[in-house]
C-alpha cells in the first residue's frame, strides 16, 4: 500500500512543474495547460488528505473543482483559438498589443 505522503510529494512536484511552466513559457496554450496541471495537483492533494482523514469532503471539493475546470477549458480554449485565428500566433507577448 502506498503511503499518503507519496501522493502529497507527487502533488507538490506536479504543482511545481505547473508553476515553473506558467512562469517560463510564453505560449498561451502551454500556459493554459500548466494551469490545468496545477489544478490537478490540488485535486490530488485533496483526495489524498481525504483518504488520510477518512473524510469524503475532499472528494466533494474535487468534484466542484473539476466542474469549474471544465468550464474554464471551454471558455479558455475558445478565446485562445479565436485569437490564434486572428493573429496566427498564441504568444502572450504579442497579445499584450491588444490593449486598447
Range of the domain at 26: 4-95
Residue 36 lies in a domain: yes
CATH number, domain of 25, equals 1.10.287.3510
Count up the domains in the chain and report the number. 1
**pLDDT digits (tens), the chain, 100 positions:** 889 999 999 999 999 999 999 999 888 888 889 999 999 999 999 999 999 999 999 999 999 999 999 998 899 889 888 888 887 777 777 766 666 5
Domain membership flag for residue 64: yes
Tracing cell 513559457 back to the chain, one arrives at: 25
CA dist 10 → 5, 32, 45, 48 (Å): 9, 20, 9, 11
Domain assignment present for residue 100? The answer is no
List beta partners, residue 91.
27
Amino acid at each position: 500500500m502506498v503511503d499518503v505522503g507519496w501522493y502529497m510529494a507527487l502533488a507538490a512536484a506536479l504543482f511545481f512543474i505547473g508553476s515553473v511552466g506558467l512562469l517560463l513559457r510564453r505560449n498561451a496554450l502551454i500556459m493554459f495547460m500548466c494551469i490545468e496541471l496545477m489544478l490537478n495537483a490540488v485535486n490530488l492533494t485533496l483526495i489524498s488528505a481525504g483518504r488520510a482523514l477518512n473524510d469524503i469532503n475532499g472528494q466533494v471539493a474535487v468534484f466542484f473543482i473539476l466542474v469549474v475546470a471544465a468550464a474554464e477549458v471551454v471558455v479558455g480554449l475558445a478565446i485562445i483559438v479565436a485569437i490564434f485565428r486572428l493573429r496566427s500566433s498564441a504568444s502572450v507577448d504579442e497579445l499584450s498589443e491588444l490593449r486598447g
